[in-house]
């Protein structure tokens, strides 16, 4: 699934293999998201299925002390974006 956020970033999710990547954006990606185009494994998504107008929380991992390492996207504007 490929989706676009309100800030113009394009993301791709491989839910079967629990992998996530940012394809492009206006600003630099966050450190947790990493370089554009690089797949990263995640633990879970909140909500499980992204929807229009919602934000998506990517839970990368939970540390031994119970701290969640996360990234939250801006609101989703388009889902199933087709790349040209």
Place of tokens 């998504």: 45
CA–CA gap between residue 46 and residue 56 (Å, rounded): 6
20-57 pLDDT, tens digit per residue, is 999 999 999 988 999 999 999 999 999 998 999 999 99
Instruction: Report the distance separating Cα 32 and Cα 38, nearest Å.
Output: 11
If one counts the domains in the chain, the total is: 1
In a domain, residue 84? The reply is: no
pLDDT level of residue 84 (50, 70, 90 thresholds): low
Token pair in block for residue 77: 């504007």
Which percentage of the chain shows pLDDT scores above 70?
A: 98
Residue 12 domain boundaries: 2-79
Is the residue at 65 inside a domain? yes
This prediction's pTM: 0.89
Q: Which residues pair with 69 in a beta bridge?
A: 61
Does 15 reside within a domain? Answer: yes
């Amino acid at each position: 699934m490929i989706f676009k956020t309100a800030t113009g970033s394009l993301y791709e999710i491989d839910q079967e293999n629990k992998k996530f990547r940012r394809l492009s954006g206006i600003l630099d990606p966050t450190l947790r998201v990493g370089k554009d185009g690089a797949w990263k494994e995640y633990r879970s998504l909140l909500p499980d299925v992204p929807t229009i107008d919602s934000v998506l929380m990517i839970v990368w991992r939970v540390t031994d002390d119970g701290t969640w390492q996360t990234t939250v996207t801006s609101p989703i504007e388009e889902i199933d974006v087709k790349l040209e």
